[in-house]
Structure 1
Amino acid sequence: MKFDVFSKRLKQAMASETNYAFAKRSGISEPLLRKYLSGASVPSMEKAWKMAVAANVSLDWLAGNVLLHTTNQTNDRSPLNQKSGNLDIHFAEGVKKTFAGFNVRLRKAMGDDTSCEFAKKSGLSGSSLHNYLKGLVVPSIEKACRMANAANVSLDWLASGCSAGTQLSQKELSSTDKDVQDYIPLYQPSFLNRKRHWKHSANILTHLAFSSRSLHKQGLNPNQLLAIPVMGDSMAGVLKDGDIVMIDLERNQLDAEAIYVVRLNHQLYAKRLQRLFDGSVRIINENKGYSDVIVEKANLSNIEIIGRVIWFCGWT
């Protein structure tokens, strides 16, 4: 996350409004606002939230996130949803636009992770996370972004619990820096074989950098992407042993013939899937040294589609 964009976006959000007027509406001091505008200081999450509300922009956008999402209030820990038709923040009727309950939502966002696990995932110290969970300290917006990304929730929900239905507006699109990147985790495939939550930083090999704008143009949510290495030569001709594939976890239904990562008999495979007229599924190996497999309709529950392969790379 690049927080040098925060001051730029704050200026854009303020438009022609004076520092005095915006500081008064935001409930922060004018000298402090000047520090944020100059980039000399990074605000706390609470102050950043107040400024986002005053400017009627998403906290995710103000903090430097390119992709904006809708947080589902009916599910306290729902993944980020990219479908939205609004240009500005719209709060549910009767919901107060206040910063409250952050530590409670942070605990929910952590899910089954221990404090030690989540702190490591977020790049924070255990003592800092402890203070946030106890409500003793409010994190900086920078550290809040780390926790939101680690938990796969939006900053707007984490800050207030409000549903902030947002989509990139023209102002936000035009102001997006070309060098802003999203970092997609590359996981050990052996970990994904286990029947438990796959996001665990101890099993991340590295992160792959992608242009945030490019992902947005493809309609992709970076919080629903992961990468794994290909193992074996059954897809030779398309995918080689050691190639890297990126998976869209939101596309975990067989909606068209394509290459998917599937879990079959507790093992992961990148395979081309084809639905047949009788409802059965053909698992296609590009390497014709391996036979294709037909899975009858009655046995489809034995196949778990992790996601669709949308990108791959490897050495020639």
Structure 2
Amino acid sequence: MSSTADRIQTRMAELSLKHKDLVNTTGASKGAVSHWLSGVNTPSGERLLSLARLLKTTPDWILTGTELPEGFRQIETWDDSTPLDDDEVEIPFFKDFSFACGSGSIGEAIANETRKLRMSKSTLRNLTITKENAVAAIASGDSMSPTIKDGDTIHVDLGRKNIKDGKIFAVCIGGLFYCKRLYNLPFGGVRIVSDNSEEFPEIQLTAEEIKKQDFHIIGWVWQISTMERW
């Protein structure tokens, strides 16, 4: 079975691309690209999207070898000027969502965000997520490892803020952005749980502490675009 590095090298050969082409297109350092090609690391986030466009394929194929569209060698790259397909929408894509975490600022941040991700209307429709409530962001840190790794892309439904025990939510605590599993506690309290519980102990807030610490739920994390690392 081929690896991510093998697939990248195969497409480079088929498209007559050089090491420098990957550096120039993705903005990654020469060392980072060398790590991709040797299998030390895998591309993620915006660099993965840029690499997929350069290689005229999909991020899923680069990372897993699956979901490769029929006749992928003829797929055209797209940019901001490429018309959307009938079943596509664009959603805001935040490289750093923490700046938008403060109460009342998310709507303004969404309106001003120029980076976009394209996704299928049917995917959102099947989950009853409206386009207006769909955003994506780059995750940072390892508090939710191994479920969410540093650099993964998370998709958030801003319309689902009611806690369903054990689900992962994007939350704001004291102006800082986190992804955590939430559980209801009696009298309006909440349990805030990290999957990496050894390094990040559970937090419990009463209803009064929720107000004092400016805790609020941004939305439900409904999809995590992750990858294995060597």
The normalised TM-score by structure 1 is 0.41
8 Å contact from structure 1 (residues 189, 229) kept in 2:
yes
1:296: which partner in 2? Answer: 206
> In structure 2, what is the Cα distance between the partners aligned to 1:193 and 1:278?
25
> In structure 2, what is the Cα distance between the partners aligned to 1:200 and 1:190?
16
Which of 153, 169, 194 is the equivalent residue of 1:260? 169
8 Å contact from structure 1 (residues 279, 296) kept in 2:
yes
Question: 1:256: how far off?
Answer: 3.8
> In structure 1, what is the Cα distance between the partners aligned to 2:186 and 2:98?
34
Question: 1:234: how far off?
Answer: 0.4
> In structure 2, what is the Cα distance between the partners aligned to 1:262 and 1:194?
10
8 Å contact from structure 1 (residues 260, 272) kept in 2:
yes
- Residue 306 of structure 1 pairs with residue 218 of structure 2: yes
1:180: which partner in 2? Answer: 87
User: Highest Rg: 1 or 2?
Assistant: 1
1:276: which partner in 2? Answer: 185
Which of 206, 211, 227 is the equivalent residue of 1:315? 227
Specify whether residues 194 and 276 from structure 1 end up closer, same or farther in structure 2 by C-alpha distance, changes over 3 A only. closer
8 Å contact from structure 2 (residues 163, 184) kept in 1:
yes
* Structure 1 residue runs of 4 or more that deviate by more than 4 Å after TM superposition: none
> In structure 1, what is the Cα distance between the partners aligned to 2:136 and 2:146?
20
8 Å contact from structure 2 (residues 135, 156) kept in 1:
yes
Which of 92, 110, 129 is the equivalent residue of 1:199? 110
2:140: which partner in 1? Answer: 231
Specify whether residues 291 and 199 from structure 1 end up closer, same or farther in structure 2 by C-alpha distance, changes over 3 A only. same
> In structure 1, what is the Cα distance between the partners aligned to 2:165 and 2:195?
17
> In structure 1, what is the Cα distance between the partners aligned to 2:160 and 2:206?
22
Task: State the percentage of identical aligned residues.
Answer: 27
Q: CA RMSD in A?
A: 2.6
- Alignment: residue pair count: 141
Question: 1:278: how far off?
Answer: 4.5
2:97: which partner in 1? Answer: 189
> In structure 2, what is the Cα distance between the partners aligned to 1:180 and 1:193?
30
- Residue 244 of structure 1 pairs with residue 144 of structure 2: no
SS in 1 for 2:136: strand
8 Å contact from structure 1 (residues 274, 281) kept in 2:
yes
Point out where structure 2 has 5 or more consecutive residues left out of the alignment. Answer: 1-79
Name the one with the larger strand percent.
2
8 Å contact from structure 1 (residues 257, 275) kept in 2:
no
Question: 1:308: how far off?
Answer: 0.8
Matches within 5 A, 1:203-218: 203-204=113-114, 206-218=115-127
SS in 2 for 1:199: helix
8 Å contact from structure 2 (residues 164, 183) kept in 1:
no
8 Å contact from structure 2 (residues 142, 148) kept in 1:
yes
SS in 2 for 1:250: coil
Question: 1:184: how far off?
Answer: 1.6
